[in-house]
Amino acid sequence: MTQKTERALWSGKWMFILSAAASAVGLGNMWRFPYLAAKYGGGIFILTYLVLVFTFGVSMLLLETAFGRKTGQSVIGAFRSFGKKYTFIGVLASAVPFIITPYYCIIGGWVAKYMVSYVTNSPADMADGGNFFVNFIDSTDSSFLFMLLFMAAAFLVVSLGVKGGIEKANLVMMPLLLVAAVAIAVYVATFPGALGGIAYYLTPDFSKMSPELLIGALGQMFYSLSLAMGIMVTYGSYLGKKENLTKSVAWIGGADLAVSILAGLMIVPAAFIAMGSADAVAAKSGPSLMFITLPSVFQQMGGIAPVIGFAFFLLVFFAALTSAISLIEACVSIISDGAGWSRRRSLITTVFVVVVAGIIINLGYNGLSFIQPLGEGSTLLDFFDFISNSVLMPIVALMTVIFIGWIMKPSIIIEEVKQSSDFKLEKAWTVIIKYVAPVLLVVILVAYVGAQFG
Ligand code: TYR
């Protein structure tokens, strides 16, 4: 495989870390982590998750980024460079960002709608127990409009290139996201009753350890670290040969973890105050926690509600946009490496695929709502989320660790890592990739698919 001379490169290690962290920090941190932590006993979930991120998570990050850097290719080319018969693993992996991007942008559109509504509407409008949300997502005009606006923002950044677009956008959005999150978490902590929520959220209760908790934490880790979807392979392929990989992945995992914990510090105590217990918080997962419960919590905060509401949805918007950018960049580089097309032509193709798929998936809330692929009340969005996150991601991750651990031998990654970093934990890494990861991935796959059909 010839390496393209025009291939983009990060400005340096820190821009790589920033952009990979910006990819990782997304809706997963904002609505999935706090909900799982509330559901699985607070502190004990955080502790388990922390251990998983710094063992399994950073090992997978290291594998993917080193794989990308070694081959200088996005995920299809990376596998193909070891033999044509392995191309299919890359093809499967590359299906993931193409499936996720359209519906991720739909949810990004929901976030944008709420951000704008905290400026144009009264906060009471959004705190009406779910009507506002349902009316919006079912709408045949504004839900499409906000989806397209969100897509346009993400495409614009990617069209400006890796250095001129992605790095610059992340450099602005990530610090603002952090400042807003810290400010909201501190503000929430000043409310009477918040301390109970914070104590629940941060104190580990070891009696609450369970297999479900472990599976929940494992699945969350894959989702949150943008693993097994070609993103980290692509981002690694833009990394200079002398940059330290082991330190970089530790920073990326740590940054993503820190933002997840912070998101919980905003959301869990706030919802605790409003609902009185962790069980009530845990009962509200995903979209309803973010788009129905939180607006009611903000509303109860009185005159500050519009400011808090806007700041919150602005930070979620940044988190979603920076992740969407990485998903789109992965699609663009997959097409460009795979077909040998220019970046421009690959981007136009991605726009076309993502817009058409986004429109179809969004029709699942109105014109096509009779299609309920996962049973009564389910939507096209639920279906694509299930296929990408619950089926394809564990399968791709499993194939990747078997490929590197058993077919190719871990030394190919170890050599790449050692080019630029000392790798003291080489043995532990090898054990994780060869033995621990395959077992855990089979567990996740069985649990996810079983939960759907069991
Ligand atoms: N890791 C990012 C997040 O937490 C990006 C991501 C996007 C993850 C889509 C999973 C996914 O299905 O949001």
Residue pair 223/385 in contact (Cβ under 8 Å)? The answer is: no
Counts for the chain of helices (H) and strands (E), in that order: 25, 0
Residue 219 Cβ inside 6 Å of ligand 1? The answer reads no
Residue 101 Cβ inside 6 Å of ligand 1? The answer reads no
**Dihedral of the CA atoms 445, 447, 450, 454 (nearest 10)?**
180
Tell how far the Cα of 11 is from the centroid of ligand 1, in angstroms.
24
Claim: this prediction has a pTM higher than 0.90: yes
Mean pLDDT across the chain: 92
User: What digits encode the pLDDT tens for the residues 376-390?
Assistant: 888 999 898 888 888
CA distance 315 to 308: 11
Of all protein residues, the one whose alpha carbon is nearest to atom 10 of ligand 1 is 223
Tell how far the Cα of 409 is from the centroid of ligand 1, in angstroms.
29
- Our mutation pick for probing the ligand 1 site, out of 104, 105, 173, 177, counting the most ligand atoms within 8 A of Cβ, is 104
The residue with greater pLDDT, 205 or 257, is 257
Give burial (CB, 10 Å; 0-12/13-18/19+) of 325. buried
Other Cβ atoms less than 10 A from the Cβ of 45: the count is 26
Residue 28 Cβ inside 6 Å of ligand 1? The answer reads yes
Residue pair 130/284 in contact (Cβ under 8 Å)? The answer is: no
The structure tokens 């759907």 sit at 452
Q: Give the Å distances, CA to CA, from 30 to 144, 266, 306.
A: 23, 9, 19
Q: Which of 13-17, 145-149, 420-424 has the least mean pLDDT?
A: 420-424
- Our mutation pick for probing the ligand 1 site, out of 100, 262, 290, counting the most ligand atoms within 8 A of Cβ, is 100
Give the pair of three-digit tokens for residue 220.
């969350």
User: What digits encode the pLDDT tens for the residues 335-376?
Assistant: 999 899 999 999 999 999 999 999 999 999 998 989 998 888
User: What digits encode the pLDDT tens for the residues 156-214?
Assistant: 999 999 999 999 999 999 999 999 999 999 999 998 888 988 998 999 989 999 988 99
User: What digits encode the pLDDT tens for the residues 419-445?
Assistant: 999 999 999 999 999 999 999 999 999
Ramachandran bin of 193, using left for φ above 0, alpha for ψ from -120 to 50, beta for the remaining angles: left
Instruction: Report the share of the chain in percent with pLDDT over 70.
Output: 96
Give CA angle at 12 (244, 243), nearest 5°. Answer: 15
